[in-house]
Structure 1
Amino acid sequence: MKLVVHFVLLLLFPLNIFSQGLRFHGNESVINERTSYSVFENGSPAFTEKLVINFELSLLPPSNVGYIFRLKDTNLNTTYNLMYDNEGRENTVFKFNEEGRNNLITSIFKKEELSNCQWVSISLSFDLQQDSMTLKINDKETRIGGLNLLEKWNPVIYFGKSEHVVDIPSFAIKNVIIKDTQQEYFFHLNENEGEFVHDSKGKARGHVSSPVWLINNAYYWAPRASFKSKNVAGLNFNSQTQDIYFFDKDSITFFNVRSNAVSSKKYENELPVKLKLGMSFVDKADNRLYAYEVYSEEAAEVATSAYLDLNTLMWTTESVDRLPTQLHHHNSYYDAANHRYLVFGGFGSQHYNKEFYSYDLIEKKWSRLSFEGDRITPRYFSSMCYKKEENSLYVFGGMGNDSGDQTIGRRYYYDLYKVDLNEKKITKLWEIPWHGDNVVPVRSMIMLDDSCFYTLCYPEHFSNTSLKLYRFSVKDGSFDILGDSIPIRSDKITTNANLYYNEKLNELYCTVQEFDASDISSVARVYSLSFPPISLEELSGMGKDESMLYIWGVIIGVFVVGGVCVFYVKRRAKKTNTDTHEALSVLERQDEMSQESFERKDQPNSIYLFGEFTVRDRNNKDITYMFSTKLKQTFLLILQYSLEDGISSQQLSDILWPDKSENKAKNLKGVTLNHIRKALAELNNVELIHDKGFFKIVLSDGCYCDYKRFFEIIKGENIVNNKELIEILIRGKFLKNTEDEMFDSFKLEIENKAESILQMEIESRYAQQDYQTTLLLVDTLFNIDSLNEEALYYQIHSLIKLKMPDQAKNKYLLFSAEYKKVMNENYSIGFTSLLNDNKA
């Protein structure tokens, strides 16, 4: 009965601790898709004596300048707005204005003040009796008077786009409170769908268009980036710089999780370590990335560890010392205070490891550590974390056996140990029974307090499987499964996944690195999830009328009591019924889904480079015929360089007329450019200019170019599930049927970016059970890479989900024929094997 009571109490008194809020599409989106939120859609209540508006604000890249909210007094015909300006080099400025008249308050912050906090607290307090107003942003407070306020106010309150105001930065808000001395309206903004906004009592009061409900970010893992390397590569996260590093023997790629910026750089010298497992750790104090191998078959004088100075990109050999055996899937922790690196567990030479080893960065030597207390059995695939307050390591789970000899078989462990580094003592905290498929955790786990820890687990004994986030109780091992799943192919022992926590942005990151059959080439993917994560039940419960929870709590409580009585009778049939129910639910959701429509219709005053090169004039007439082969070459060359400084006159001549004399080339160039200007005169807001020796195509607002828009979107944050980006890509292969060699590198750059985006988008759409869009995107990806096996997988499985097995088989046969034609060998994976794979 105690279990039932606790269950009902949780339903009756839900905790509002989840990630929540409303995110606004800003200037990075077209005007019609920018977010608008009217707080009191059907008439505002009257506030007397005081009007207080409190909310929390998160400023998101690529925010530069725009309006956060507007406040109207219709009786006085007065409007106030809060404007944000981040375009200065050093400062971020908030301005509170009387719209169209004058600035009332200017509040200036150093950029780092706001960049170091995820949420900014904002309060506007109007004293209607004293005719004054106070603006408080975090701890900075400013008071003004003389506003001619009335003692009663029915405010009209907008956040984001409203009426004629369309300049909106990218931002998010949560915990909006509107109150006076007698009443209070609290908006958690914890809806997960729809356009109606409910107050804390469950009443729908507001309306929002084009919303992004942040609660979904706490359940759905968002694909953020992907990387490929033909060499052995490694991954790590630096919470101080907010960078995820992906490195191999030649170069390093930086992915900044805050700005989404990606950059790749070559090393200044050769990496001295021959990477086998690609293991690494970060020294934040010295801004170094250490690459190491615990074991190497190379000569004794060959480096086994080295560090990369992340400021200079110079490698320095650290040590040649090594352990006696390889340790696949070992755990690790960098003890910066004592300049040592600790590892535990792992597998190599047919043995599981039970030892703790320490690498001393000063002595540059490995040594074995000894502990008293309980014994941790030999294992690998464990999870480990460090708790600073206790100077202790925690080790969870894994796979191995008591002897360490791999030949006698293996056990799965679901236990937790505390390793006290002060006392040099190991204490076993608990071991729990496990039901269902055996799983192993990833290397790292997150423990932020004494109550619980988080780690990702997956059944590694399946080829195509899924990672799921688990939250375990530190006290007794009870657990919850949170968030949706992340696909992983676990065929190779080198394949790995890691979990990181970003305190600055309050996010979890999962990195998945999958190696090919050679254990050399790999693909790495990065996902993010808002913290704290939630379960599907919690997601489904967000934003609903809270009064209903009381009723449902009682109803469910009654059913739970009755259900306990028949639980054991029906337990054996439960799995079959659940499987059937889930299968039916998928079909029902498929039928209910409203698939997005993606317009491919060309618009007037536009230039298209995706698909067939097309130019349409201001009247929507196709004038592509005006661009002869030479004009098209010249125009595309200039446009290629126009996102930066342009192309020099000399460079243009060298590429297009390399065999002509200087005078002849100059004349031809002049004639060609005049013809381009004549063609462009049929459009508005586009011109060919010559400035300081460089030619450049200048596209102003009103002239659409899909190539320019493509780069604008991918520099922003909303890459996955971006409808406009999909519409650009599905138009066709970049510069389709333009075969000039001079554009090969140009096309390759765009295709690589498009391929990476399409792979993430396909994976995301498939996970959302949007199979029609998945198929559309797969066809687009095949235009770039006709032998993409991941695309084939999602194509086949989407058709099966849509009950189209014959079409799935036909697609497989077409792929096999193309594979045979290109590779001159048969495709090795059979249709049945492909069907039996299960990524999702």
Structure 2
Amino acid sequence: MRSFRFQLYLTSWITCLLFTQTIVAQKKLAEIKYNEVINLINHYEHNSLYNFKSHPTNRLNNQGINGFILDLQLSKDSNKIEVLHQNKKWITDFATVCDSLATYCQQDTLHVLSIFFNYHFDPKLLVHFLKSHPIHQHIWQGDFNAQWPTMAHLISNNKQIICFAYTGKNSPSPFIHYLWDYAANPCDSKEIEPKLNGEFCHGNIQNKLLYLTSYQTFAHDPPSQSRQTWIDTNQDPFFISHALNSWKNTGKVINFIVYDDKQKNYKGLKGHLLSQRSISGTISYNRQAIDKVFWQGDFNAVTYGEYNFPATLNEVVKLRPECPGFKFVPEEIHIEGITKDVTQNFIAIPLTLNHSIRAYYPFDSNIKDEGPHQFELENKGCKIVHDGQRNNVIELDGKSYITIAKANDLGISDSDFTVSAWIKLARNNEADQRDFSILGTQENYYRGGLHLQSRDNRPYFGFFSNDLWGNTKFIPGKWYHVVWRYTKYTQEQAIFVDGKEDVSSLNHPPFVSNSHIYIGRSISQDNLFEGRIDNLLIWNRALGKEEIWHLSQDISDIQEDSIVHFIMRNKYWMGAFIFLLVTLILFTRKSKTTPTDKVIENIDLKQKAPKKNAIKLFGDFQILDKNGEDITHCFTPRLKQIFIYLLIYSKEEPHGISSDEFIQMIWPNFDRKKAINNRGVSLSKLRNILEAMDKIYISNHHERWKLEITSNVYCDYYECLEKLDSNLFNNRENLHIFLSTVQRGAYLQDCQESTFDEIKGKFSNKVIDVLTRLMFDFDMSQHPEIIVKIANRILKTDDLNEDAIKYKIKALLVLRQNNEARFLFKSYQQRYQKIYNQELPISYEDLIR
């Protein structure tokens, strides 16, 4: 009897514990999104079909499996779809597999499965089959780009299956997602510390999900335990280390671990990964994530601008982001004693083209280094000639060259560097197999023989037996802008032609030498250049792609520095001229203004928007009907979202928004029938509200939706778009309208839906750019009040805008509001410290200079 009571008590206790764990699990599911879950993916053939049908929940949960790979083919008569097993010895009817998956969904209401289809037939056949099978009611359909669904949402709506396909990029169905639009797959590596350098076999660095396949055919087994069912990670940490290093090297949380060895179970590995803390954040420029970031410090990784790194409890971590063309705030961070997940954001600030420039040869009127160091050179027969397209350039005849500084002085030995030049070949250099060198050394040993040249009429980048050949075919007599860029961190050689990347390659050890560098000559005496060269520049850093594009368009600001150097070299002769020039400016200042001064003088920033029949998206959302009544309260959050979406994208898409785009944007997690029903009800309500306006129509033509607004209706957003397309700074009336409109507040100020994040950031940046330029143009001594107002408007959108803070403080000082100026700086300092976890790198005194 005692034994029976004890068993009854134990059973009750276990039941209670399991119930409690279920509640806790459900609470966690309410917060966890699908892209935050680690999934173990197995080939379907490695699970007995009979056992899976009989005991699906127990079998999957015991092994920790979250999904399957299904290799599909059409039957010989093309009447049905079959599951092909890897050994190809037997097949299974796809309908049978779907039956077993549907059984799983009915029996297990706490788990979600990811299914990966591999097929090479018409995807419409697969879509048609799934729609006709009962499993369809369990498949989630929606747009991952709009929002990742939470696990709780998937489970509560019985959408327990997520479908991906390895092929069929343009899927005809919203429920089969092309995997490589969302996931990145590193190439398989058996190294414990795989070095990926931001390259993937499938997908790209911007994709959010990480899909690991290295565990499918691992030869590595724990000593004497190669046939064990469970991996003992206590005795063999290889798998944990490999997975963590993959996470570290990509900056992406592992979402899918694919394995196909039925003798191993990776459930223990999954538990170790889930126990890790993380450091995550965004590296952004103009509120957009940077395309590619190189990390120094404890994570030698190459990642997208949105990153996530694993961290061990109480670990000390140092992070330092790098990216060609940018510096970062904060520059570097140290995190000590990590006890919880950490968020750390970085702001990217563009470098000027003058930053780290070592030598500059414009060849305008002489052959000299016009850069900041003005290195000595020796000219061997090169001549300045006039070119019909580029004015003065140098001409080399196949015998002439220029000896410039040594590699160490230029800072390009064992370092990042960039060389930019305009080149024009005098003749075809394919026939005699002779290279035309633009820049190089005389040495011809491994890593010491620099040669940037044209070989067989194509750009060439070499360190001697450590080279890269470009793709572009040069046409003799035509000018090309060519950039050779080396990045030491990834050992990348890259060639750009006319502003676009022509070719790039990793794993090239750096150039190391302290020899003289030559223009028009390299390695061999015969590799002398024949043609013309202009604007040759050398940096000891890797330039960013935007900088290279600007150089190719001749819109860089390097010329300004050359003027400064010219004045410095001729300062005594220029003294009298500068004195006379300043005197003349002071004398004429009272009677003469610049075009911009004429436009901006007496600008009135007061709001003058219509008081009826108006739509306002700046500041708080507001609608005034044709009688001047405020009808904003009639818009529920959903109706407001739909109205603003149609309003914005009707302007972006002249032909309207497709029905599929409309549904995926507003009702991404609804099945199609329910979404269409909700759309009909919502649009009916919206049309009733808009009847109070004169006049707005919601049209639907060939399944494309559009909001049509007559000229009687005022919309501040449409007004601003029109003025931004005009020449604001030469038209006082347009500038006045623009300023009085945006002064009301930030664009979509009270819209927090992620639906509008992209358009909101893009348009707000345009407005800030115009306001910043205007703030610069106003005379601080004459218009301090207006500068304060403009700065305030910028800070509504970007409360850490350094230019706005600086100009507002200076304007307050002109207005003798010293205490307010100091309070503003202190407040800015505190916000900066809170967001970046670092002290502001500038003092109040430095800011106001």
Which of the five TM-score ranges fits, normalised by the shorter chain? 0.3 to 0.5
Greater per-residue helix proportion: 2
What is the TM-score of this pair, normalised by structure 1?
Answer: 0.37
> Which has the greater radius of gyration?
2
Higher strand share: 1
* TM-score, normalization by structure 2: 0.36
